[in-house]
């Protein structure tokens, strides 16, 4: 029997609760909407396979997750895809090492600009962490018909009308949440409830695979 599965990142319970409040507030303004009852997550991929094959996929997930190292993800910006009516949060990961004191007000303009540029570059480097893990996971689980997510995001609402998208963007303008990304979650779709539910969680093992370096012994 074919079953639908999804592989996602789950944030901390505090972030899940905060997003639930946001979705509930939006629901009071526009009534029911797609994903209003969905638990906060960042999708990596979705696929359909025979139920008998799932153990093989679990083994693959366990193996690849053992090579990943935990890192912090910061949620600091809302965005939207107007053509599909999606309103979501854009993650911007930063390592703890980036949590440095801001430049003093007495610093000259040039120094401030240099700091700003460096932080921007660091953000771009850290942003690639989620994408890198997503791609490696997708490549590991590759299966026909797999739906892949290329841009990490945390949905607030999907398939919103233009009017409701405008309401959402006016309700939510700033955000400052963060969580430690240290695992990947495997979920199964329940066709009766029309929701995914967790069937397994795979912790990051911080055991990166050694990179192959081509060269000669002599």
Give per-residue pLDDT as tens, 61-117: 999 999 999 999 999 999 999 999 999 999 986 633 344 444 444 444 444 444 444
Q: Which residues, at least 6 apart from 146, have a Cβ–Cβ distance to it below 8 Å?
A: 45, 46, 47, 138
Residues forming a β-bridge with 47: 5
User: Two tokens at 123?
Assistant: 């953000």
Contact 37, 174 (CB under 8 A): no
**What's the sign of the alpha-carbon dihedral 132, 40, 51, 55?**
positive
Q: What is the model's pLDDT at position 213?
A: 44
d(CA 210, CA 103): 38
Q: Name the residue ranges covered by the structural domains of the chain.
A: 2-73+123-155+182-203
E strand spans, 40-176: 42-50, 71-81, 86-93, 147-148, 154-157
* Residue 210 pLDDT grade (very low, low, confident, very high; cuts 50, 70, 90): low
Mean pLDDT of the chain: 86
**Opening angle at CA 43, ends 41 and 44, nearest 5:** 140
User: Two tokens at 182?
Assistant: 């240290």
Q: What is the model's pLDDT at position 10?
A: 98
Domain 2-73+123-155+182-203 in CATH 1.10.1200.120: no
Per 3-state DSSP, the chain is made up of helix, strand and coil in percentages (nearest 5) of: 40, 30, 30
**Opening angle at CA 172, ends 34 and 70, nearest 5:** 80
Give this prediction's pTM.
0.81
pLDDT per position as a tens digit, 121-168: 544 545 589 999 999 999 999 999 999 999 999 999 999 999 999 999
pLDDT per position as a tens digit, 32-70: 999 999 999 999 999 999 999 999 999 999 999 999 999
- Whose tokens are 């490549």? That residue is 139
């Amino acid at each position: 029997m074919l079953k639908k599965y999804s592989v996602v990142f789950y944030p901390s319970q505090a972030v899940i609760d905060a997003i639930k409040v946001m979705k509930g507030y939006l629901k009071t303004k526009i009534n029911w909407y797609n994903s209003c009852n969905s638990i906060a997550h960042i999708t990596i991929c979705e696929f359909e396979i025979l139920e008998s094959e799932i153990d093989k996929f679990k083994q693959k997930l366990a193996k690849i997750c053992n090579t990943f190292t935990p890192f912090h993800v910061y949620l600091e910006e809302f965005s939207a895809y107007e053509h599909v009516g999606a309103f979501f949060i854009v993650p911007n990961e930063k390592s703890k090492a980036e949590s440095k004191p801001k430049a003093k007000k007495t610093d000259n303009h040039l120094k401030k600009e240099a700091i700003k540029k460096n932080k921007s570059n660091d953000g771009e480097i850290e942003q690639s962490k989620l994408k890198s893990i997503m791609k490696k996971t997708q490549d590991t689980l590759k299966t026909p018909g797999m739906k892949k997510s290329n841009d990490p995001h945390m949905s607030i609402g999907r398939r919103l009308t233009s009017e409701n998208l405008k309401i959402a963007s006016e309700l939510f303008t700033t955000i400052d949440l963060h969580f430690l990304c240290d695992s990947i979650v495997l979920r199964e779709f329940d066709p009766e409830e029309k929701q995914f539910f967790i069937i397994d969680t795979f912790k990051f093992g911080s055991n990166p695979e050694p990179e192959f370096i081509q060269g000669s012994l002599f």
